[in-house]
Structure 1
Amino acid sequence: MTIRIAMWSGPRNISTAMMRSWENRPDCDVVDEPFYAFYLQQTQSPHPYFDEVIQAQSSNYDTVATQLSQGPVNAKIQYQKHMTHHMLANVDLSWTKNIRHCFLIREPSEIVNSYTQSRGVCSAEDIGIIRQSQLFDEISQVTGQNIPVINSNDVLQHADRLIPKLCDALQVEFSANMLSWPSGRRCSDGVWAKHWYHSVEASTGFATVAKKTFTLNSAQQRVVDQVMPYYTHLKAHSISL
């Protein structure tokens, strides 16, 4: 029986590196942001490669949810990389019941700074932290799971300790293959990879990155202040080292 794992993250949060980690297991297939087309179709948000995403994926929520929860998988484990802002308010989450969930968080100021550099603008809705907190509570209620939360900075600094703990929390055997991977693009990457995945394509593991000094403008700081209580709620559930 296939083990289905859903990782819930916002953008600019090593989510693709985490997908690389799981994909490098010999027993795991990955799914990259399966609700992206649904999100774009519903919101008409002007994202890079908008038309290509719509053409590449089903934009029907129920179709995608059924595929993720019941569709065939050619591996022991299926790892699903999800963006929390793709899950619009009031969507049916019953499909998540028999999936093992985990949440990936990052300090909001770092996300806002990185996102703004990539797209030029950044709102609280863009980075999905508020929705991430809501989904954590909602999925916890649907599944009854004690959902593990991991902090991206902890992963980058202590992957050799944190990834095994995550596997343990998800009740899957740890594989040392998860700590490194070959550089380059993958056929499993979404069509948006050409815009977003430059850094991860050059990566070969969870390399520690020197902390950058940056200053947020007033608009960016307002976003940080808006989402901070929700980030704090999630952080309280994070796996400790």
Structure 2
Amino acid sequence: MADKNNKKIFLWSGPRNISTALMYSFAQRNDTIVADEPLYAHYLSHSSAKPFHPGADEILSNMETDGRKVIEWMLGDQSKPVAFYKNMSHHLIKLDWQFMQAGANIILTRSPEEMLLSFSKVIDQPSMADIGYAMQIELLDFFKTKKLPFVVLDAKMVLQDPEGQLRKLSTVVGIPFMQEMLKWKQGPIPEDGIWAKYWYRNVHLSTGFQPYQKKKVEFPNHLVPLLKECQPIYENLVKHAL
């Protein structure tokens, strides 16, 4: 069971959804520890995704591959009053989700058109299993069925109004908003996962949430079927946005 002296915040994101920027934001709080995708190695060891993920061997050799042990660690006592766990929703395969009752749950989503454009720069042939939308809708149904409180964040809305969204989010999860959450120093942070060199370039160049700008790039034809599959899921998720 979770230690009552610690507040647990579980972020369930898809890839390329500003989840790293949100982790950097929470890392600025003096009352919070952050953890970067602690279930990543579990996911790689229990799925067929390993060949497509840069740095997979390094991740598997340096992280705990047993998701049950990772969950036990997340539920344990931490060094600060608030623990923010940045997770990818698709990393939840073959796990019992009951532990989510021990914390506040956030689903972070993004327009699939924008997400797929960004994701395909690293993995050019993604499948639904790689990008989290299907698992996020399962999470939504799980929270509703179990009557668990949850919040949905839309990446675009956060970028359009970082302070407003973070103030609302802080209230919902039961922590005070801190102005420090809006800015950070350029460069990596110690909590970065070892995959940061493949994925975090833009965040490392930033000093805060970047203003929203729609990309003016032609959408790849080979991703159109996946986009059509993701769009109704996203529209269902965003109905619950903060």
TM-score category, normalised to shorter length: over 0.9
Q: Is the 8 A contact 1:154 1:162 kept in 2?
A: yes
Quick one: which of 1, 8, 15 aligns to 2:19?
A: 15
What are the superposed Cα offsets for residues 192-233 of structure 1, whole Å, 9 maximum, x if unpaired?
A: 011111110111101204221122233211111111221111
SS of 1:119's equivalent in the other structure is coil
Question: By how many angstroms is 1:133 displaced?
Answer: 1.2
Quick one: which of 31, 49, 73 aligns to 1:67?
A: 73
**Structure-to-structure mapping, 1:1-241, within 5 angstroms:** 1-45=5-49, 46=51, 47-69=53-75, 71-88=76-93, 90-142=94-146, 144-239=147-242
RMSD over aligned CA atoms reads: 1.3
Q: Distance in 2 between matches of 1:51 and 1:159?
A: 36
Q: What code does the residue aligned with 1:79 have?
A: F
Q: What code does the residue aligned with 2:210 have?
A: A
User: What TM-score do you get using the length of structure 2 for normalisation?
Assistant: 0.94
Identity %: 32
Q: Distance in 2 between matches of 1:146 and 1:236?
A: 15
Q: Distance in 2 between matches of 1:193 and 1:97?
A: 30
SS of 2:9's equivalent in the other structure is strand
Q: Distance in 2 between matches of 1:194 and 1:44?
A: 22
Q: What code does the residue aligned with 1:230 have?
A: I
Q: What code does the residue aligned with 2:235 have?
A: T
Q: Distance in 2 between matches of 1:137 and 1:31?
A: 25
Q: Is the 8 A contact 2:39 2:87 kept in 1?
A: yes
SS of 2:149's equivalent in the other structure is coil
Q: Distance in 2 between matches of 1:21 and 1:210?
A: 20
Question: By how many angstroms is 1:11 displaced?
Answer: 0.3
Structure 2 unmatched ranges of 5 or more: none
